[in-house]
Structure 1
Amino acid sequence: MNETMEKLLAAARQGAAQAGDLAVNTAHGLKKKAGETLSAAKQRLRIAALEGEIEGTLAEIGELLYATHTGTPTDSEVLQEKLRKIDALKTEIAVLKGGPDRPVACAVCGTQSRPGDVFCRFCGGKL
């Protein structure tokens, strides 16, 4: 084979190898980006579900308060439990959104704080 032909074949092999490497790298990048997009979508769905749960719990609280207003007293512990549930759901949402302040559990009663809280919303203990 003549020297020019060998140089052309070598250049073609090198070009094909570089194109293959580029294709593999591009595929890996696309896979990573797709994974990130899927993760973000799952996170948004989880936040939406938590917000829906908060709305449902707020509706339950409204019904309990109205029942108390109409003469059927509500056990305050039931009401407090629903309020703590909302606090926990809002804390989970804040964590999922990656807020600057991370929630902490109260050292006195164990209730989860909301981002930015300095004192426990349940017992008043310093966080």
Structure 2
Amino acid sequence: MSSVWSRCSLWLSLLLFLPVPFWAFGTGWASVAWLAEISGFTAIIFLVDGGLVATMMTATLVTQTILWAAALFFASARIVHYVPGSRRAGFIATTGLLLLAGSLLFPVYATSFVRDGEPVNLIGLFQ
């Protein structure tokens, strides 16, 4: 498995499943994919309605999404750099499966946008 493919695979797993802290009308923990979804919704509201609150929410969420995506990209690049090439594919697959299982089985995401901040798993986050 090439280092570029490994880095992108690990980055995608981290974007989809790793809970990261964020701030938007309160604090919480959610995946970067969820942050991107909410950023898209607020961007649509900003484009349709405008206004100061929509502008601030869109800017805050988009900035946090971009910063976390970049941080996870560089982290995945560093992680892949330290894993030997012969064990890289197994490491990436194991990491992705562990992140998926953890996000499905345990309530690791908490946000005021979903169930008033009650911790939920990955399925509950997108309901």
TM-score (norm 1): 0.32
If each structure's strand is expressed as a fraction of its own residues, which one has the higher value? 2
RCO greater where, 1 or 2, for CA within 8 Å and sep 6 or more? 2
TM-score (norm 2): 0.32
**Which has more radius of gyration?**
1
